[in-house]
Amino acid sequence: MQREQEQRHVYYDHDLGIEAYNLSGIVQKFPNHFHDYYVIGFVEGGKRHLWCKGQEYDLTEGDLILFNPRDNHYCAPINGDILDYRAVNINSDIMLRAVKEITGKEFTPHFTKNVIYQSDITQSLGDLYNAILINAPKLKKEEAFFFLLRQVLQECVMPFDEVELSEPNQQIKALCTYMEAHFSENITLDDLLSMTSFGKSYLLRSFTKQVGVSPYRYLQTVRIDRAKKFLEQGIAPIDVASMSGFTDQSHFSNFFKDFIGLTPKQYQRIFTDAPSPVAPAEEWRNDN
């Protein structure tokens, strides 16, 4: 059977301030990483094995996926199955304002589950995605957005300060803060060691266990996040590569597509119009 043509469509909705993703025909593995925003997504077709915060899940059509900011995760196909996936990415400030509008209270929400099998919330998510896709009137998009979040808040959320979460110790936190401040520099393991009382092996084990990703993966994830912000400002990808700490544009483009599923140019173009779909991947082979 001929494999479905790979498609990667992304839209930025200026009215709502959120991104909407639709990936179809995808066999790509996604590496262990995290985001600084909330993700609400669902599997439209295919099967995936997901690793998230030390837990494993087998996903199939109709399963809802929820990621808090900084939830580390990665996934791979099951038996070579292609993935059809829709999601919305919601920055924390947008989420906090929406939560206050819905609940009348100021609090930071925390998804209590990363996967809900066969959830009816996927219908609401699909409605929001379709409203963004056709650039529906603002009122219709806002209704779909708030209806989705109301369902999620009722079924899947606790206030962040009521959730018992294990946090990294102070030395590991200091390393994270350092990498976030010096992401564009050539950080070495010796640089990190100088800030702790650890040996190399212990530092790597301890960091990975407490944060969920290795120091190198943490640094690359921070760099990709900063690169996205530079691209959104219209800075040329070749300049973004060096500004973000990558050795060259090719290295940057490969990492960006591994993490985001798009090339830097594809990602940047979604901010030029509202909405502005990314063209099918096979038409963008030369975009770096």
Long-range contacts formed by 279-287: CB under 8 A, 24+ apart:
280/5, 280/6, 280/7, 280/8, 281/6, 281/7, 281/8, 282/5, 282/6, 287/263
Q: Tell me if the bond preceding 137 is cis, omega within 30° of 0.
A: no
Residues 6+ apart with CB under 8 A from 53: 71, 72, 73, 114, 212
7-162: CATH number: 2.60.120.280
> Are 15 and 65 spatial neighbours (Cβ–Cβ below 8 Å)?
no
Q: What is the full per-residue pLDDT of the chain (288 aa) written as tens digits?
A: 344 578 888 899 999 999 999 988 888 899 999 999 999 999 999 999 999 988 999 999 999 999 999 999 999 999 888 999 999 999 999 999 999 999 898 889 999 999 999 999 999 999 999 999 999 999 999 999 999 999 999 999 887 666 666 778 999 999 999 999 999 999 999 999 999 989 999 999 999 999 999 999 999 999 999 999 999 999 999 999 999 999 889 999 999 988 888 899 989 988 865 444 444 433 333 454
User: pLDDT (tens digit, 9 = 90+) per residue, 154-198?
Assistant: 999 887 666 666 778 999 999 999 999 999 999 999 999 999 989
CA angle (241, 246, 252) in 5-degree steps: 60
Q: Which residues contact 75 (CB under 8 A, 6 or more apart)?
A: 29, 30, 48, 49, 50, 51, 59
Helix-helix angle 215-232:249-260, to 10 degrees: 100
Q: For the stretch 157-191, what's the b/e string if a residue is b when 16 or more beta carbons lie within 10 angstroms of its beta carbon?
A: beeeeeeeeeebeebbeebbebbeeebeeebeeee
Amino acid code (one letter) for 102 = I
Rg (C-alpha) for the chain, rounded Å, is 19
DSSP string over 256-281: HHHHHSS-HHHHHHTTTSSS-PPPPG
Tokens in use for 59?
């996903």
Which residues does 197 contact at the CB level (< 8 Å), separation at least 6? 171
Token readout for 34 is 């995290």
Asked if 80 contacts 27 with a C-beta cutoff of 8 angstroms, the reply is yes
Going from N- to C-terminal start, the domains of the chain cover: 7-162, 170-283
At 195, list the tokens.
């800030």
Q: To which CATH superfamily is domain 170-283 assigned?
A: Homeodomain-like (1.10.10.60)
Q: pLDDT tens across 129-155, in order?
A: 999 999 999 999 999 999 999 999 999
pTM attached to this predicted model: 0.86
